[in-house]
Amino acid sequence: MSNAFGQAFRYSTWGESHGPAIGAMVDGVPPGIALAEADIQVWLDKRRPGSSKYVTQRQEPDAVRILSGVFEGKTTGTPIALVIDNVDQRSRDYSEIKDLFRPGHADYTYFKKYGLRDYRGGGRASARETAMRVAAGAIARKILLQAFPDFRVRGAMTKIGPLRINPEKWDWAQVDMNPFWCPDAGVVGMWAKFLDMVRKEGSSAGAVVEIHASGAPAGLGAPVYAKLDADLAAAIMGINAVKGVEIGDGFGITAIPGEDAHDEMRMRDVPGKNAREVEFLSNHAGGILGGISTGQDIVVRYAVKPTSSVLIPRRTVNVHGEDATVVTKGRHDPCVGIRSVPVGEAMVACVLADHWLRHKAQCG
Amino acid sequence: MSNAFGQAFRYSTWGESHGPAIGAMVDGVPPGIALAEADIQVWLDKRRPGSSKYVTQRQEPDAVRILSGVFEGKTTGTPIALVIDNVDQRSRDYSEIKDLFRPGHADYTYFKKYGLRDYRGGGRASARETAMRVAAGAIARKILLQAFPDFRVRGAMTKIGPLRINPEKWDWAQVDMNPFWCPDAGVVGMWAKFLDMVRKEGSSAGAVVEIHASGAPAGLGAPVYAKLDADLAAAIMGINAVKGVEIGDGFGITAIPGEDAHDEMRMRDVPGKNAREVEFLSNHAGGILGGISTGQDIVVRYAVKPTSSVLIPRRTVNVHGEDATVVTKGRHDPCVGIRSVPVGEAMVACVLADHWLRHKAQCG
Amino acid sequence: MSNAFGQAFRYSTWGESHGPAIGAMVDGVPPGIALAEADIQVWLDKRRPGSSKYVTQRQEPDAVRILSGVFEGKTTGTPIALVIDNVDQRSRDYSEIKDLFRPGHADYTYFKKYGLRDYRGGGRASARETAMRVAAGAIARKILLQAFPDFRVRGAMTKIGPLRINPEKWDWAQVDMNPFWCPDAGVVGMWAKFLDMVRKEGSSAGAVVEIHASGAPAGLGAPVYAKLDADLAAAIMGINAVKGVEIGDGFGITAIPGEDAHDEMRMRDVPGKNAREVEFLSNHAGGILGGISTGQDIVVRYAVKPTSSVLIPRRTVNVHGEDATVVTKGRHDPCVGIRSVPVGEAMVACVLADHWLRHKAQCG
Amino acid sequence: MSNAFGQAFRYSTWGESHGPAIGAMVDGVPPGIALAEADIQVWLDKRRPGSSKYVTQRQEPDAVRILSGVFEGKTTGTPIALVIDNVDQRSRDYSEIKDLFRPGHADYTYFKKYGLRDYRGGGRASARETAMRVAAGAIARKILLQAFPDFRVRGAMTKIGPLRINPEKWDWAQVDMNPFWCPDAGVVGMWAKFLDMVRKEGSSAGAVVEIHASGAPAGLGAPVYAKLDADLAAAIMGINAVKGVEIGDGFGITAIPGEDAHDEMRMRDVPGKNAREVEFLSNHAGGILGGISTGQDIVVRYAVKPTSSVLIPRRTVNVHGEDATVVTKGRHDPCVGIRSVPVGEAMVACVLADHWLRHKAQCG
């Protein structure tokens, strides 16, 4: 259905940014996993607005409550209900934009679909819904960690507007040390100046984000319509403002000759054990071959369009079929890509948890 | 499930390239639509191997038969079973590659998932399965055409290896006049020479394909987990060898300032009618905003990796955990992207038919 | 998934009887339907405990709140979140039954499935969950009423313990005039005496309930795996304590000769119109032929087992694998069948709303 | 979707009785299970028409072919396609009944749903589709047997028309020794005479069938919307002509006092082992408590209506809205309940296989 994600690990979300609360229900979670609100809150805090001057200054504590499915500190196997109260529903005057279709927003399409629209912050099209993706992703991580203690998913931003990182300077340790989840310390200063400029001009910038998941086993996915990469593509393309998704080398692989584009294999000794294991000599494939994981790092990259709201007047039409001009005022996120990083991580975790449970059903 | 695609319009496929036949079952088709085998065959012929020297010389007539769901020339609303007999199951000797994991293929991951593998042509991982996608897509087109007489979906190749078309020279009329579905007559000669070279070297080349769907209504999709773009991304990423998907400007949109990246709107006169309609002044969004169609052309672009099989020796391992070398021999597709074009068209048609029926359920 | 019901009209529920709240999320609701909390509350009040001495004296106001999906008094097409706070979580001492598997309850099977159990009131196995079925059913009724203004679903109890009604005395007007939803005024006194006796003895009694839905159109359902009767059977059998389901004549039809068992048809004048319509001369089929509705009343009947908790000592085992004796104390529902009537009505409404939307998808 | 059954173990069927073939596709089957056509044929032969004078004399060999999903004698984990050619498509003249809605058949409802109908034998409403249920059930049995070597599902007929067996004389050994799957040798002669009479009169008789599944583990199912009994009810009610379903004591339990209706438990020694296990002292519940299996025999009972086609003239209407009379001629099944027994067994096996895989996903 329209508001649920996944099959065996399945979560559903509800709520609008200007209603009393938003929530999710997470179904299919194995019983007996230790889970507390703090396990979820840590990831929500990472996504939270207001954390730097480069993201919206809307202030939401985003404190999550677990209302069901956990008993005596452990999951019970029954649905876990999560709720976050909407605290900062600023009683703003919407009369100016109430009848206008803002370019780049879902206003027009929402209206064409439903014959109505919730003009208070975009209704379900608001990025506020992504808080629940992050919350569900926190539970997905717990499921995977229980089965695969080395499992880890983390994201980084590799481009803001026209400015790329140098991939050879990638350092995961840098990612948490700047407000951009940037893995290349050398570009942080330039990005800061660029975004300051963008913000002052009332403009906005796009971004590219890259998610790596390590420690997941080979064998997740299926060869035809449950391909791991297809489900990852849907999960990521479904994040607000995303316009492109790549696995591994993505579009870049089209320019590599066939003999170099495919990852060769060799046997290697398993460190510290009297055993041998398969080693891939490269990872052009991004950890997925024929829709099934190889056991290497799973690498997903995505493009986020510039924030739709800009402080510069744009041409549009209104619900009465008249030409009009729209200008956004007030709080403003110059680059929504920044806040999408924890969301992208969460979606990758959710897809992997779902495929892990589905794999167990058939092959476990 | 693993072998079905779609929700309200839903098809399932079965069969391996080296079994007696492959087939599909298409469920949810509205009753009363005129449908004959020829309506499907026309699209299968477009995908058929052996049609030029740039695609595999495997000879399969790919003649489809309808075994159910059509009565007196019309769909009955019950499942439509489609079968294509496998004619060219060359009784080849597989002993050389039986135990080897070919780089770039699903051999290794298939084995890790299922504990076994069908070494005769890749089992379900064979691109032969895509014939059934094309067949299902033919039915999807009929559904959409009945509701939207101007509906049309068509694809073109925009890049082979490192060689791009000039987008300003795009001419749909050229697409059917060369073996590459190339819309820019100016690059056809160069592409031919390049692929001749690639073929002689036993190498292979990647490609970029672009699909346009026009005539579909605004309002298809949903704001959160039934986003039209998310479902398109899954559908396209699920095609064999695809490593990247873009909607509209895709990754390119990240470098455009926010005020230019979002499509402005104006009212215009409807030609020949005393009425006014919304006009978008550009289509950076690729016809989708907030997961819902705008009524503009839907534009999807994807990257196809170079054919995995190359005639150049590659390092690998075998099922016994030993290092080995693999060389592909015999029939060979230097650029699988070419044959993916009708498959991409079909998948876009299937997604749109599915969303059209789902839209009717809730909002019809 | 395990905690969702329906396909196009789909609701999910969460919560345990002893947690802070229970809730549901209703997805797929068409936009533009007037909906207020009072539209749901009216049906919840009908199910509410404590309404007569024949049902449990647990006091729950069961006040429902709508947290999303309704804007300016109308459904928006986005998920409707419903919450009921648990007010009467009596801080009871569970130490006596904490380790015991109560006969007839889900204690033992829950433990075998999940390896743990929520001993406070049965966790998800508690009949408290049915409040959310009633709430979802209220929304289903609104959907159906908008499309079919004469739509109506209502239930009655036809048997308590061994005591049946006389079906020839069936009078719908009686149903709301006694605490048993009994349509035969002649048996109400006897039932009251019988249940008084059952209660005093600490025993419990089973019941048979019959649900009639009128005003739904012909054509809902499908011939094979989306049969209307199959989905009704699942919906009803899924209500706590139900052990049997019948459509129309049910088991009774097995003793009727074939020539009498099937409903004959005749054309008749449509009252007040210059038109003719099909009339069935009987309704042995309960309004469903070949899995598809006929347009007649849909008749579903079900058996509810006696309340599992009795005040009489029963033999059982405990979680440590020891023989034990269990006696229920405290609040007690002598006949859970009574409170199941509004739940049965709701489930029938949910199935019909779902099939109505699914029908529109394919044939609308 | 309308033509698929199950979730993790999921099969889809297609085909009409008067088309070239019928078929199924079985998805989700674990890899590595030995499977040959003979494993399926044995159950199809049990259901096959023409096996005694008490069932239709239509002659169909019903020889099943496996077209995919099995390699070197073992399942591969990919979809298993099954096909049965329709051999006996008697080129009968349908002109007499082409425009008539036969009472008790799906003719009228099919027409109301789809606006057309396949008058040749009922289209998808034909009981011929049940051959594919039996075939899928054969695979389900293999899945369960691999995990639970003592697993067994078998059915018996307990009533024909008004004539019941004596349950105290139940002897499974009798079931295969008479044409009625009757477990009580004492009633076989009476049933034979009764059905002879029914057949001569051109009438038909209903039946009650009981299915027992033994050897399945405790823990299958879920407490709310994936209840094992709810899924069994849907599976059984979805068999052609079924009008009622019971689990365990079914409707009979309503007359039993609560203290006797619920199965008590005791610990017992496991024979031949130094261990103890739970023993239920009765099985009123039919092996399911709170929607989850107890490990006891699962007992499902169902009512089959008399064959709709009778040789006695019945009143009806035609597609032109005129009163008419219909008389069935030719081949005729006096009691369709007989041939439903292997179908009922198959559906129970399919539900259990599906729940076993689903259980592994979450709790495995």
In this structure, are residues B82 and B26 in contact, taking their beta carbons and an 8 Å threshold?
yes
Is B29's Cβ below 8 Å from some Cβ in C?
yes
* pLDDT category of residue B49 using cuts at 50, 70 and 90: low
- The larger pLDDT score, comparing residue C265 to residue D46, is at C265
Is A21's Cβ below 8 Å from some Cβ in C?
yes
What pLDDT is stored for residue C214 in this prediction? 98
Comparing alpha-carbon positions, the chain A residue that sits nearest to B246 is A244
Helix, strand, coil tally for chain C in percent (to 5): 30, 25, 45
pLDDT at B100 over 70: yes
Q: Amino acid identity, residue B212?
A: H
Cross-chain CB nearest to C118 (options A76, A115, A123): A76
B115 contacts in D (CB within 8 Å)? Answer: 31-32
What pLDDT is stored for residue D60 in this prediction? 72
- The mean per-residue pLDDT over the stretch D162-168 comes to 97
- The mean per-residue pLDDT over the stretch C243-265 comes to 97
For Cα atoms C298, C303, C309, give the angle at the middle one, nearest 5 degrees. 145
pLDDT at B90 over 70: no
* pLDDT category of residue B207 using cuts at 50, 70 and 90: very high
- The mean per-residue pLDDT over the stretch A231-245 comes to 98
Comparing alpha-carbon positions, the chain C residue that sits nearest to A26 is C14
Q: How high does pLDDT run on average in chain C?
A: 94
- The mean per-residue pLDDT over the stretch D348-355 comes to 98
**Strand runs labelled E in chain A:** 4-5, 10-14, 21-27, 64-66, 70-71, 74-75, 80-85, 152-160, 163-164, 207-214, 242-247, 265-269, 276-280, 288-289, 292-293, 298-304, 314-317, 323-326
* pLDDT category of residue B130 using cuts at 50, 70 and 90: very high
D224 contacts in A (CB within 8 Å)? Answer: 78
What pLDDT is stored for residue C89 in this prediction? 64
pLDDT digits (tens, 9 = 90+) for A148-206: 999 999 999 999 999 999 999 999 999 999 999 999 999 999 999 999 999 999 999 99
- The mean per-residue pLDDT over the stretch D207-226 comes to 97
Q: How high does pLDDT run on average in chain B?
A: 94
Token pair for residue C18?
Answer: 């002893």
* pLDDT category of residue D341 using cuts at 50, 70 and 90: very high
Token pair for residue C174?
Answer: 């009686």
A77 contacts in D (CB within 8 Å)? Answer: 362-363
**H helix or E strand, kind and range, residue B211:** strand B207-214
Is A363's Cβ below 8 Å from some Cβ in D?
yes
Percent of all residues in chain C with a pLDDT value above 70, rounded to a whole number? 96
Least confident of A241-245, B1-5, C227-231, D182-186: B1-5
Is A206's Cβ below 8 Å from some Cβ in B?
yes
Judged on CB neighbours under 10 Å (0-12, 13-18, 19+), C147 is: middle
Is D258's Cβ below 8 Å from some Cβ in B?
no
Residue among B1, B354, B340 at smallest CA distance from B160 = B340
Residue among B88, B102, B136, B163 at smallest CA distance from B239 = B136
What pLDDT is stored for residue D93 in this prediction? 67
User: Residues 50-89, chain D: which have Cβ within 8 Å of A?
Assistant: 77-78
**How many pairs of residues across A and D have Cβ atoms under 8 Å apart?**
44
D74 contacts in B (CB within 8 Å)? Answer: 116
Is A363's CB within 8 Å of D78's CB? Answer: no
B77 contacts in C (CB within 8 Å)? Answer: 362-363
Give how far D19 is from chain B: nearest CA, Å: 6
Least confident of B107-111, C96-100, C155-159, D112-116: C96-100
Is D238's CB within 8 Å of C221's CB? Answer: no
A168 by DSSP, 3-state: which? helix
Q: Which residues, listed in sequence order, are joined to residue D157 by a DSSP beta bridge?
A: D209
Phi and psi, residue B19, nearest 5°: -90, -175
Token pair for residue D359?
Answer: 């259980």
A207 by DSSP, 3-state: which? strand
Is C115's CB within 8 Å of A28's CB? Answer: no
Is C22's CB within 8 Å of A76's CB? Answer: no
Comparing alpha-carbon positions, the chain D residue that sits nearest to A76 is D363
Q: Which residues, listed in sequence order, are joined to residue C280 by a DSSP beta bridge?
A: C265
* pLDDT category of residue B355 using cuts at 50, 70 and 90: very high
A339 by DSSP, 3-state: which? helix
Give the integer Cα–Cα distance in Å for D65 and B23. 14
Is B12's Cβ below 8 Å from some Cβ in D?
yes
Residue ranges in chain D assigned as alpha helix (H): 37-47, 107-114, 130-147, 185-200, 228-237, 258-261, 336-363
Give how far A58 is from chain D: nearest CA, Å: 39
* pLDDT category of residue A55 using cuts at 50, 70 and 90: confident
**H helix or E strand, kind and range, residue C107:** helix C107-114
Give how far A165 is from chain D: nearest CA, Å: 41
* pLDDT category of residue D91 using cuts at 50, 70 and 90: low
A364 contacts in D (CB within 8 Å)? Answer: 360-361, 364
What pLDDT is stored for residue A18 in this prediction? 86
What pLDDT is stored for residue D92 in this prediction? 65
Q: Which residues contact A116 (CB under 8 A, 6 or more apart)?
A: C31, C32, C71, C74, C76, C77
Percent of all residues in chain C with a pLDDT value above 90, rounded to a whole number? 85
- The mean per-residue pLDDT over the stretch C111-129 comes to 88
Give how far B113 is from chain A: nearest CA, Å: 4
* pLDDT category of residue B111 using cuts at 50, 70 and 90: very high
Q: Which of the other chains make 3 or more beta carbon contacts under 8 angstroms with chain D?
A: A, B, C
Give how far A226 is from chain C: nearest CA, Å: 17
For Cα atoms A148, A152, A157, give the angle at the middle one, nearest 5 degrees. 160
Is D14's CB within 8 Å of B114's CB? Answer: no
Cross-chain CB nearest to D358 (options A29, A77, A361): A361
Q: Are strands A314-317 and A298-304 parallel, antiparallel or unpaired?
A: unpaired
Is D357's CB within 8 Å of A362's CB? Answer: yes
B361 contacts in C (CB within 8 Å)? Answer: 8, 28, 357-358, 360-361, 364
User: Residues 96-155, chain A: which have Cβ within 8 Å of D?
Assistant: none
* pLDDT category of residue C50 using cuts at 50, 70 and 90: low
What pLDDT is stored for residue C120 in this prediction? 82
pLDDT digits (tens, 9 = 90+) for C162-192: 999 999 999 999 999 999 999 999 999 999 9
pLDDT at C48 over 80: no
Give how far D146 is from chain C: nearest CA, Å: 20
Cross-chain CB nearest to A261 (options B290, B305, B315): B305
In this structure, are residues A244 and B244 in contact, taking their beta carbons and an 8 Å threshold?
yes
B236 contacts in A (CB within 8 Å)? Answer: 233
Cross-chain CB nearest to D206 (options C104, C254, C305): C254
pLDDT digits (tens, 9 = 90+) for A61-112: 889 999 999 999 999 999 999 999 998 665 566 777 889 999 999 999 999 9
* pLDDT category of residue D213 using cuts at 50, 70 and 90: very high
* pLDDT category of residue D216 using cuts at 50, 70 and 90: very high
pLDDT at C277 over 80: yes
Is D124's CB within 8 Å of B10's CB? Answer: no
Q: Amino acid identity, residue D260?
A: D
Is D29's CB within 8 Å of A364's CB? Answer: no
Interface with A, mutate which of C22, C26, C71 (most A CBs under 10 A): C71
DSSP structure class, residue C11:
E
What pLDDT is stored for residue C18 in this prediction? 86
* pLDDT category of residue B35 using cuts at 50, 70 and 90: very high
- The mean per-residue pLDDT over the stretch C14-28 comes to 95
pTM above 0.90, yes or no: yes
Is D12's CB within 8 Å of B2's CB? Answer: no
* pLDDT category of residue B60 using cuts at 50, 70 and 90: confident
pLDDT at A46 over 90: no
What pLDDT is stored for residue C91 in this prediction? 56
Token pair for residue C364?
Answer: 């609308």
Is B6's Cβ below 8 Å from some Cβ in C?
no
Is D27's CB within 8 Å of B19's CB? Answer: no
Q: Choose from A288-297, B323-332, D116-125 the range with maximum mean pLDDT.
A: A288-297
Is C113's CB within 8 Å of D253's CB? Answer: no
Is C28's CB within 8 Å of B223's CB? Answer: no
**Complex ipTM, two decimals?**
0.96
pLDDT at B48 over 80: no
Give how far D363 is from chain A: nearest CA, Å: 6
pLDDT at C28 over 90: yes
DSSP states of A64-116: EEE-SSEETTEE-SS-EEEEEE---------TTTTTB--TTSSHHHHHHHHS-
Give the integer Cα–Cα distance in Å for C337 and C349. 18
* pLDDT category of residue D329 using cuts at 50, 70 and 90: confident
Is C19's Cβ below 8 Å from some Cβ in A?
yes
Interface with D, mutate which of C107, C201, C247, C265 (most D CBs under 10 A): C265
Q: Are strands B298-304 and B314-317 parallel, antiparallel or unpaired?
A: unpaired
CA distances from D149 to B115, C352, D214, D294 (A): 22, 41, 11, 18
CA distances from C131 to A37, A194, A297, B240, C347 (A): 27, 55, 46, 48, 11
What pLDDT is stored for residue D2 in this prediction? 85
What pLDDT is stored for residue C90 in this prediction? 58
- The larger pLDDT score, comparing residue C223 to residue A1, is at C223
Is A225's CB within 8 Å of B2's CB? Answer: yes
Is D77's CB within 8 Å of B113's CB? Answer: yes
